[in-house]
């Protein structure tokens, strides 16, 4: 079984854990930082609220089930939907969507390969 890594995302008082293949967590962290760097440049009115990556860990035991553990591909799919819905077609949105979709495609391939190995 593949090693998983967990990212802790925080938006205000809300926490969410994202489970990713350990080999891809750095990409999620880098993407999150890039999105935060560029999101202020977007001129559209409906820009989604974006949580910050607060921490990464290898092992996770959630004590309070109020904090969800989200599959990495599900999280990336949600992120792609939120950014694709922004009514803007200029840089940096096009570039950000390209980066989100690249990670999305890598995760889809990773999960397909894992399913084949199982």
pLDDT by residue (tens digit) across 87-116? Answer: 877 778 889 999 999 999 999 999 999 989
Tracing tokens 């200029």 back to the chain, one arrives at 90
| Residues 53 and 8 sit within 8 Å (Cβ to Cβ) | yes
Mean pLDDT of the chain: 92
Question: Does residue 43 carry a pLDDT above 90?
Answer: no
What pLDDT sits at residue 64? 86
Q: Which helix (H) or strand (E) holds 82?
A: helix 72-84
Strand, coil or helix: 71: strand
Question: pLDDT tier at 1 (50, 70, 90 boundaries)?
Answer: low
Looking at the chain, the whole-number percentage of residues with pLDDT higher than 70 is: 99
Helix, strand, coil shares of the chain as percentages rounded to 5?
45, 20, 35
Query: Which CA distances in Å does 85 have to 38, 73, 81, 82?
Result: 16, 18, 6, 5
What pLDDT sits at residue 21? 96
């Amino acid at each position: 079984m593949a090693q998983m890594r967990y990212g802790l995302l925080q938006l205000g008082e809300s926490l969410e854990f994202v489970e990713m293949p350990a080999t891809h967590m750095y990409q999620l962290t880098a993407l999150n930082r890039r999105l935060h760097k560029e999101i202020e440049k977007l001129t559209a009115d409906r820009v989604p609220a974006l949580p910050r990556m607060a921490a990464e860990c290898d092992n996770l035991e959630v004590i309070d089930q109020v904090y969800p553990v989200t599959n990495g591909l599900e999280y990336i799919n949600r992120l792609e939907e939120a950014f694709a819905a922004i009514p803007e077609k200029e840089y940096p949105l096009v570039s950000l969507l390209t980066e989100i979709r690249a990670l999305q495609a890598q995760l889809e391939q990773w999960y397909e390969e894992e399913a084949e190995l199982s």
